[in-house]
């Protein structure tokens, strides 16, 4: 599969300025990412919910990514001063996340309603795996959070099995999880989440904390 994407060999070579033209240079690198952001409902919501964050939606489909880019530009124009901390980049996050994200640079990673890849022979295409979790841990700051949600029960069980058994992650306690406004956002505002809502299906989710190295045994 040739996705025709170019990417830097290291994060220092990447220029974020075109993505966040109104942000000061000190705030220009992403601190929150929405992996497989689709049409960007969560990406734009997080930009308002977390005004001090720099939010990046990552989407592999060129047309969908362009839609989100234009959506953000139009929101910036209609609500002056807002949404300057939101952007969308075309990317295959399974291949080159660490090429443009610095180690320990992220406060939050969201993976919302990822493609389930039901057949066993396609499980290797799932966006949660031991190796990819290692990359997520590499990009997350110590104690930073990984948010996972799906409407597919078997995929949720896969998420729990993979992340529970990864040495760099531990479940967030339920009370903290349920009181986190980002959890409410990931349940309610993504386009896929709204579709699931309309069909009356369940949503399964979990939040994990990225452990600091010193607490990993």
In the complex, the smallest distance separating the C-beta of residue 57 from ligand SAM, rounded to whole angstroms, is 8
Is 96 a residue that touches ligand SAM (CB under 6 A)?
A: no
> What Cα–Cα distance (Å) separates residue 133 from each residue in 72, 86, 145, 185, 216?
29, 24, 12, 22, 15
Could you confirm whether 115 is annotated as catalytic? yes
| Contact assessment for residue 47 and residue 20, using Cβ atoms and an 8 Å cutoff | no
| Contact assessment for residue 162 and residue 123, using Cβ atoms and an 8 Å cutoff | no
- Of 137, 130, 77, 67, nearest to 105 by C-alpha is 137
What is the Cα gyration radius of the chain? Answer: 17
Is 135 a residue that touches ligand SAM (CB under 6 A)?
A: no
The rounded distance, in Å, linking the Cα atoms of 94 and 73 is 27
Choice between 171 and 195, CB closer to ligand SAM:
195
Is 151 a residue that touches ligand SAM (CB under 6 A)?
A: no
In the complex, the smallest distance separating the C-beta of residue 116 from ligand SAM, rounded to whole angstroms, is 8
Is 91 a residue that touches ligand SAM (CB under 6 A)?
A: yes
Residues 24-83 that bind ligand SAM (CB under 6 A): 36-38, 58-61, 64
Question: Beta partners for 90?
Answer: 59
Choice between 45 and 59, CB closer to ligand SAM:
59
Name the site residues for ligand SAM (rule: CB under 6 A). Answer: 36-38, 58-61, 64, 91-94, 112-115, 190-193
Catalytically annotated residues:
115
């Amino acid at each position: 599969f040739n996705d025709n994407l170019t990417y830097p060999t290291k994060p220092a070579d990447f220029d974020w300025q075109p993505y966040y033209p109104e942000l000061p240079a000190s705030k220009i690198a992403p601190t929150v990412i929405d992996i497989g952001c689709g049409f960007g409902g969560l990406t734009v919501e997080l930009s308002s919910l977390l005004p001090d964050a720099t939010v990046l939606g990552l989407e592999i489909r060129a047309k969908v990514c362009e839609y989100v880019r234009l959506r953000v530009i139009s929101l910036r124009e209609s609500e002056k001063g807002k949404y300057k901390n939101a952007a969308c980049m075309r990317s295959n996050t399974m291949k080159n996340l660490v090429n443009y994200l610095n180690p320990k640079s992220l406060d939050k990673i969201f993976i919302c309603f990822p493609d389930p890849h039901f057949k066993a022979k396609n499980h290797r295409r799932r966006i949660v795996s031991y190796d990819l979790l290692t990359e997520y841990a590499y990009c997350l700051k110590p104690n930073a959070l990984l948010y996972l949600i799906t409407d597919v029960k078997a995929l949720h069980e896969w998420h729990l099995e993979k992340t529970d058994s990864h040495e760099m992650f531990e479940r967030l306690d339920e009370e903290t999880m349920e009181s986190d406004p980002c959890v409410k956002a990931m349940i309610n505002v993504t386009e896929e989440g709204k579709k699931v809502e309309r069909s009356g299906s369940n949503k399964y989710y979990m939040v994990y904390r990225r452990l600091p190295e010193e607490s990993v045994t």
